[in-house]
Amino acid sequence: MTVVSPIHTARSFRSAAPSAHPSGGAAECTVVASDEGVPLVTGERVEYANFDYAASAPCLTPVADALADALPYYASVHRGAGHHSQVSTDAYERARRSVARFLGARSEPADAVVFVRGTTDALNLLARSVPEGCTVVVFETEHHAALLPWEHPAARAGRVVRLPLPATPEAAVEAARTALRESPEGPRLLCVTAASNVTGEIWPVGELVAAAHAEGARVVVDAAQYVPHLPFGLEETGADYVALSAHKLYAPFGSGVLAGRADWLREATPYLSGGGATRLVTEHEVVWNDLPARHEAGSPNVLGAVALAAACDTLTPDVQGLLHIRESALLERLRAGLADVEGVTELTLWGDEHPRVGIVSFTVDGLPADLLAAALSAEHGIGVRDGLFCAHPLTRHLLPEGHAQAVRASLGIGTTPEHVDRLVGAIADLVAHGPAWEYADCDGRLAPVPDPRNVL
């Protein structure tokens, strides 16, 4: 097993301590990777070029190290008298404090940090925790995890207002302000993303929070695509809630977080019923626990929490700032390269100059997205995402005429300039010459026929 380092590509985090490099802690930011490469249909093997970070990021080596340290002491938490149970309980609660620091949470009891399975789980929890009849305002640009939970039959939301795609960031703020102002009296919630999972464009969270608070509403931020790239602070932004997924934050072990104002969460019926969420159960009554246990029924994902905390502890604001500088250069290199390829159209909501994180979605004339993605993988060893990216309304709106889906390339800590050049060169080659192999549907995805690779 080897690691890929964006700062010192010739060194492994496991093989040497972090050096006294000007980047400081950034030298620790390496990801676990295989040194075996990936097979091509030609019979060759090449280094894998991963451009699918926005779906799931690989594991940080400090995260893998933290798990290796925790595994020998793994046990169920909170209710065990044994040594390992107490060690695991301490690790679990220390993880909660690490996440709170990472998210700039307000001091207890104002804010709570609840461990969940991911962003989708977090926002469904909040949808079941808002006051009964709460008005929810959400843009149609959102990922389905943020768009759909409010309309679920089990949600406590009342009126749900879906706002159309805004033409500018300023229009987004004004649309949210107007929708909240025109909503009925009572609790109101604005749901917004911090960075689009389709275009990477950064949303004006601070301005949206100010507008919502001026109308007496609260704000929940889907930060799943933002926090792997840039720091986010609840207290700094004024946001009331934030949701994230560990698997996008280099801790792919099935955890996530809903953090924010404790009062709505405390007053809500537990998200799940079961052990841990209860304080007392008799034949005639159930007394529910206080936060955060109230919404963490069952045996929690201790190792997932430890992994997430390790990622949060590694990705300090200083480290993220340094990584963002490097990533911005890679993103500029990728976008410039794609712009030079005939027939490539980048999807954007607010124009080429709007700030964004390391995500680029695009179409290529004459090459369907699924065929392009399959050929990049089979013939070039490059992993991208194709489809509508669980943001169907936004992606369909942005697609140029004649295209049903798009390709998404997303960057991360393990991405190198050579990877970017390989991707741009491979797309240019496919545009010029087409795929070199035949492709056919195989279990719902295009695959080379015949396929000599041993993929499984």
The token duo for 428 is 């240019």
Q: Starting at the edge strand that comes first in sequence, how are the strands of the sheet with 359-364 ordered?
A: 344-346, 359-364, 406-410, 385-387
Residue 12 in this model has a pLDDT that exceeds 70: no
pLDDT number for residue 456: 60
pLDDT tens for each residue of 145-186: 999 999 999 999 999 999 999 999 999 999 999 999 999 999
Residue 453 in this model has a pLDDT that exceeds 70: yes
| 31 contacts 444 by C-beta, under 8 angstroms | no
Residue 22 in this model has a pLDDT that exceeds 60: no
Q: Where are the alpha helices (DSSP H) in 223-382?
A: 234-237, 262-267, 302-314, 317-339, 369-380
pLDDT number for residue 34: 87
| 310 CB-near residues (< 8 Å, 6+ apart) | 60, 62, 63, 65, 66, 67, 98, 251
Which positions are annotated as active-site residues?
Answer: 390
Residue 28 in this model has a pLDDT that exceeds 90: no
Residue 8 in this model has a pLDDT that exceeds 50: no
Residue 290 in this model has a pLDDT that exceeds 50: yes
> CA dist 268 to 199, 214, 265, 290, 426, Å?
35, 25, 5, 10, 52
Residue 20 in this model has a pLDDT that exceeds 60: no
Dihedral sign, Cα of residue 72, residue 73, residue 77, residue 83: positive
**3-class DSSP state for residue 451?**
coil
pLDDT, average across residues 252-264:
96
pLDDT tens for each residue of 98-118: 999 999 999 888 999 999 999
Residue 257 in this model has a pLDDT that exceeds 80: yes
